[in-house]
Structure formats: C-alpha cells, structure tokens
Structure 1
Amino acid sequence: AEFPSTSFTSYRVDARKKRFPQCISHRGNKVSHPENTMAAFRSAVEVGTHALETDVHFTKDEVVVLSHDDSLERCYGRPEKILDSTWEEIKDVRTIREPHEPLPRLADLLEYLAQPGLEEIWLLLDIKLSNDADTIMRLLGSTIASVSPAARKKWEERVVLGIWAAKYLPLAMKYLPDFPVTHIGFSLKYARHFFTVPNVSFNMLLPMLVAPGGRAFIRDAKQKQKRQVYAWTVNEEDKMEWCIRRKLDGVITDDPRKFLDVCARFDEFRREPVFALRFKAYFEIMRI
C-alpha cells in the first residue's frame, strides 16, 4: 500500500497561463484575525485563498481542537494545557486578540468547508509532535469520518496530513490510508529520507530552501521525484517572488491577500532581487 498522489495540491495556472504556487493561509488570515479561529479561516476564504493550514491538538475527552500551542496561554490568556482539559471546560474561552473569538474544533472547520461553493478549498493539517502519535491519528480519522463531505468531493481529495516524523507514516496508513501526506520540516537531510516513500510531498521552512543545498533539494524533489514542494512561513514580498520563480507548489503565508497580490503583479522578466538570508532566519524554527 502507498499514499495517494494528488493533483489538488499542485501549482496552479492562472488566466495568463502562468504557473503560480497555491496560496495556503497559515492558521487562517493571521494578519487580520486571531489565528486558528473560524473568523480567520472565513476571512482567508473571502480573500481568495486556495487552502487553509491549521494545527491540531486533542482534549482530555478526545475532542480535536485547532491550536498551534498545546496550552491556551498565548492566544486565550488561560494557563490550562489542552490535553488536561475537557472540551466542556474550554469551549467558552475567547482569544485575547480582538474580536474575541472562540476555540474551534476540527469538526467545526470541516462543517464550514463542506458548504456548497467551498469545495475547491483544501486543508493542510499540521499534526504537532507534542500529541500522542497513535491517539491523534486515530482521532483525526474518526473526526473526519464524522463530518459529511461536500456533495462532489470526498475529504480524501481535500485534506492533507502534515507529519514531522517518519513514525507517523504507519499510523497514517492505519487510520487514514486514503489521505495524502506531506512532510513538514526544516532539515533537508531528514526530508530526503521521505524520497523512499512514494507520493509524500514536502513542506519546508523557507530559509532551508534558500540556504546552500536548498535548490538541489527542490530540483530533486520536483523533477526527479515528481513531488510537490511548499514553503513556510512566507510573509515578505521578495521571498514570495523567490517562491514563484522556483516554481514551488504552495506558499504558506500569514497574509494571503498580499501573496495573491504579488502573484497578480508578478513579472517573470523583471530582474530577480537578491535578499540576504539573515542569520536570525535560521532561528525561525524556534517559533514552530
């Protein structure tokens, strides 16, 4: 058995017949709304995003919720760990950032995406390593199965499992065998191990793709292996243009409107700007 290959996660071709990475909104439209909230996801869709990226954790009573952190402290101002709380105990929390939004469940987002007219929007799940691996994969399987998909598109054609470590591969095959898988990471050396696993795509920290060895990785992944490559998290215009020129399949950004504007204005014949890879960029991995 192997994971499915997909076309819905590949680069898009616009009305000018130009090739562009898909716009993948990082935790929703994060520049304008509290991250990982339904308001942020709806806003990203309204702006024109092609996909949503979000993070999953589960509560003590096994409800999958959407949060980057395993605690409610940073976004909700509450000291509790999600895993130590029941859904009933935390369902009424509100974000510190205005407008004060509730904590959504994965089921809430899936129900929203199942609405008519949103069938082309797909979802990238960042499955955090702090979760118990078997439990989170089992719960993802049961949660996705519990929500009826859109009339013409199964969830298998709209949801991508983002995994950091190879130990998640057999669990994905066990609980979600028909769903595509992408490796999320910041080590090109580790990522190359996934070349042996058919159809796994790559979601890499942008500075690693820009750094020495990055272009060779993109070439090997896309041309030799026929894999899709995405970059995270890309918020500056010059870096967005770099991703377009490298023909990446997707750009994960906090600012979907900006990225779509950059795509609309992009001129491939304009001289490519050179941007310095700041040393601190390597430490962006501390914010994952």
Structure 2
Amino acid sequence: MCAAVYVLSTVTGYVLTSALLLKCPSLLHRKKREAFLSRHISHRGGAGENLENTMAAFRHAVDVGTDMLELDCHLTKDEQVVVSHDANLQRVCGVDANISDMSYAELPPYLCKLGVTFQKECFCEGGEDKRIPLLRDVFDAFPNTPINIDIKVNNDTLIKKVSEMVVKYDREHLTVWGNSRNHIVKKCYKENSHIPVLFSLPRVLQLLGLFYTGLLPFVPLKEQFLEIPMPSIITNLLMRKALFQHLTARGIQVYVWVLNDEEDYRRAFDLGATGVMTDFPTRLKEFMDRNGMSKLE
C-alpha cells in the first residue's frame, strides 16, 4: 500500500512538474537570444517564381519582402563554395557530372526550365540568369538578410570555408546552418558554435520522444531552429501547438516547409509556427498582407 502511494505521488509530481515547465520553460531554461525572427522564408530563393538558387531568385525574394533566404551549398574541385541543391548537375543543368569534380569556371549554366520539387506538375522557366552563384555573391548582395544554409555534403573543407566566410562577412548573427544528418550538424557546431544550428533528423526524432514522454521541459537544447517538413508522418506528430509554444518560449524558432498554398500557410501559422518556407514568395507575401501578418522585427 505504501509503495503504491509512493509511486502514485512520484508520478503525479512528475506529470505536474512537466506540465508546468512545458508551459513556463523560463523557470528552468534561459531563453536563447534571437538576433532575428523570420516568418517569410524563400525556399531556394523561391523555386516556383525563378530558377532555384540563382541570384535572380534571391533578388526577387528580397524585393518581395522575404525575411530569410534558404539555400544549399556544395564545394567545387577548386574549393569554391557554390549555391546548388544537387551534387550532380543532371537535373538542373542536363549534364551528368558532379560539382565536386569540376572547377567553378567549368560549371555549366542551368537549364531554361526546371521542375519545382515540392509542387506537382509545376515548372519554372528562367530568364537570363542561369549561373550557379558563389555563396560570397549572395553575402555581398544581401548583407542584412538572414540566410539559412543547408550543408549538403559531409565535407570538412566545405564546413570550414562556409564558417570562415560567415565570420568574414560578420554574419554569425544572421546565419543558421545544418543538415538532416546529425554528423554534419555536429561538425558545424564544433567548427563554429556561434552560428546557430538546425535540428538534424535524428534530433527531431529525439525531440518527439522527449515531448511525448514529458521529458522535454527538463532537457537543454543546443539547436535554435526546428524545420518541419509537411506533409509527413513526423509532421503529424510534431504539429502540436503546445510543442510550438514551448520551443518558442525557449527562443527556438519553428519553420514549416515547403508550403505552397494558402490552406497550409494558415494551418502552420494557426498552430504557432514562427515561419513558413515556400517556393512562391509572392503568394506567401500576399497571404500575409491580407491577414495582417506584419514583418517581425
């Protein structure tokens, strides 16, 4: 009888404490410093309105009023950091060659027409800008725009060069980086812990376990940004208002990607997502304007 009472009181105390800290995490954790807040994020610069990851796409997104540019990085044979999603150029350039096997001068231009990965049966036709840009080109052109960098390959030199470039351009407070693979995120954090990192996929799964067991409020988190793909099984488990509110209260921004229609925009914002990543920056901006969602400062 005494043992049962002890177990019951212990479990009750745990549940109540967990619920309290879930609601008020500042009782245990210091809120992370937020150098910027992004509600409107342009995926690959807005792959539905301009050729993905081109300077034209980035300029258009910034002109529309995006809060953040999302892009991907690879390293050429002559160790230039370039902005490209694919390691192989077949899909975007029609050339079966890897970026890592070519110098920057040898890289071919983009095709005139590219499929939009996250929009079925949708293609984007580009203008004159079909060049694969250097990361430093983006930093030069948009010194005050937050940039979300996906380190696409496990390459120590690439990670080091991106870090050095971020420091050189004084962008540690305007950059977030990472990858879905945990070993890449760990290397990024080890290389430069001053640049905020994203949750990797294994860490997202761990986050799920912590949330549903009630342990999350007790556990420190080094990451400052959570990106949730939608739709997916993981998304259905993660799309919880209580989770979003808890992470936001701890200074962790929650982005949902890649959303391209108003119904999904609304669902994400209604659940408390910090921001939405889209292939159509104009469409998202018009939705936000109609619904009185002013840019966060």
> Smaller-chain TM-score range?
0.7 to 0.9
> C-alpha offsets along residues 223-251 of structure 1, whole Å, 9 cap, x if unaligned?
5x442111110101000011111121111
| 1:5 and 1:180 in contact (8 A); partners too | no
- The one-letter amino acid paired with 1:229 is V
Work out the CA distance in 1 between the residues paired with 2:70 and 2:159.
17
> C-alpha offsets along residues 97-126 of structure 1, whole Å, 9 cap, x if unaligned?
332411101111111113xxxx2x210001
Aligned to 2:172: 156
Matched, 1:249 2:265: no
Aligned length: 240
Question: Shift of residue 267 of structure 1?
Answer: 7.6
Work out the CA distance in 2 between the residues paired with 1:221 and 1:145.
27
Work out the CA distance in 2 between the residues paired with 1:186 and 1:237.
30
Q: Pick one of 211, 215, 221 that aligns with 2:247.
A: 221
Question: Shift of residue 199 of structure 1?
Answer: 4.2
- The one-letter amino acid paired with 2:138 is L
| 1:243 and 1:251 in contact (8 A); partners too | yes
Question: Shift of residue 179 of structure 1?
Answer: 0.9
> C-alpha offsets along residues 179-226 of structure 1, whole Å, 9 cap, x if unaligned?
111225498424457964334320110224651453154344335x44
Aligned to 1:99: 127
Matched, 1:38 2:55: yes
What SS does the aligned partner of 1:182 have? Answer: coil
TM-score (norm 1): 0.74
Q: Pick one of 74, 77, 84 that aligns with 2:101.
A: 84
Aligned to 2:196: 180
| 2:74 and 2:158 in contact (8 A); partners too | yes
Q: How do residues 203-242 of structure 1 correspond to structure 2 at under 5 angstroms?
A: 203-208=227-232, 210-215=235-240, 217-223=243-249, 225-242=250-267
TM-score (norm 2): 0.72
What SS does the aligned partner of 1:111 have? Answer: helix
Q: Structure 1 stretches of 5 or more lacking a match?
A: 12-21, 269-288
Aligned to 2:222: 198
Aligned to 1:124: 148
What SS does the aligned partner of 2:72 have? Answer: strand
Q: 1:267 to 1:96 in 2, by over 3 A?
A: closer
What SS does the aligned partner of 2:198 have? Answer: strand
| 2:46 and 2:61 in contact (8 A); partners too | yes
| 1:72 and 1:81 in contact (8 A); partners too | yes
Work out the CA distance in 1 between the residues paired with 2:77 and 2:247.
39
Work out the CA distance in 1 between the residues paired with 2:136 and 2:229.
28
Work out the CA distance in 2 between the residues paired with 1:108 and 1:48.
19
| 2:45 and 2:69 in contact (8 A); partners too | yes
- The one-letter amino acid paired with 2:269 is I
Q: 1:9 to 1:249 in 2, by over 3 A?
A: farther
| 1:241 and 1:266 in contact (8 A); partners too | no
Aligned to 1:265: 290
Work out the CA distance in 2 between the residues paired with 1:210 and 1:79.
34
Aligned to 2:11: none
Q: Percent identity between the aligned chains? A: 28
Work out the CA distance in 1 between the residues paired with 2:220 and 2:32.
14
Structure exhibiting the larger radius of gyration computed from Cα positions: 2
Matched, 1:54 2:83: no
Aligned to 2:160: 138
- The one-letter amino acid paired with 2:136 is A
Work out the CA distance in 1 between the residues paired with 2:32 and 2:285.
26
Question: Shift of residue 70 of structure 1?
Answer: 0.6
Work out the CA distance in 2 between the residues paired with 1:53 and 1:46.
15
Q: Structure 2 stretches of 5 or more lacking a match?
A: 1-30, 114-125, 211-215
Work out the CA distance in 2 between the residues paired with 1:134 and 1:48.
34
Question: Shift of residue 60 of structure 1?
Answer: 1.4
Which shows bigger deviation, 75-84 or 172-181? Answer: 172-181
